[in-house]
């Protein structure tokens, strides 16, 4: 059997923690920031954990 390739788009968007959780960036913090309140942009900062059902799909894309 050949090796399974990692989905390159997914590898750039998601990180796996040591305990196996999948982390993602929050959406809505890329552009048009001058129109969005500072409270919102601060709220969108940092990483979020993926939902369990989605995390299973992402792990398959990452070859885990």
Q: Which two tokens stand for residue 7?
A: 């989905």
Q: Is 14 exposed, middle or buried (0-12, 13-18, 19+ CB in 10 A)?
A: buried
pLDDT of 1 higher than 90: no
Q: What residues are paired with 14 via a beta bridge?
A: 24
pLDDT in tens, 42-56: 999 999 999 999 999
Can you give the pTM of this predicted structure? 0.82
**Could you name the CATH architecture of 8-61?**
Irregular (4.10)
Domain boundaries, the chain: 8-61
Q: pLDDT grade, residue 3 (50/70/90)?
A: confident
């Amino acid at each position: 059997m050949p090796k399974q390739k990692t989905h390159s788009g997914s590898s750039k968007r998601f990180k796996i923690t040591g305990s196996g959780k999948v982390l993602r960036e929050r959406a809505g913090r890329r552009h048009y920031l001058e129109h969005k309140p500072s409270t919102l942009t601060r709220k969108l900062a940092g990483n979020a954990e993926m939902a369990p059902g989605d995390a299973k799909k992402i792990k398959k894309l990452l070859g885990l």
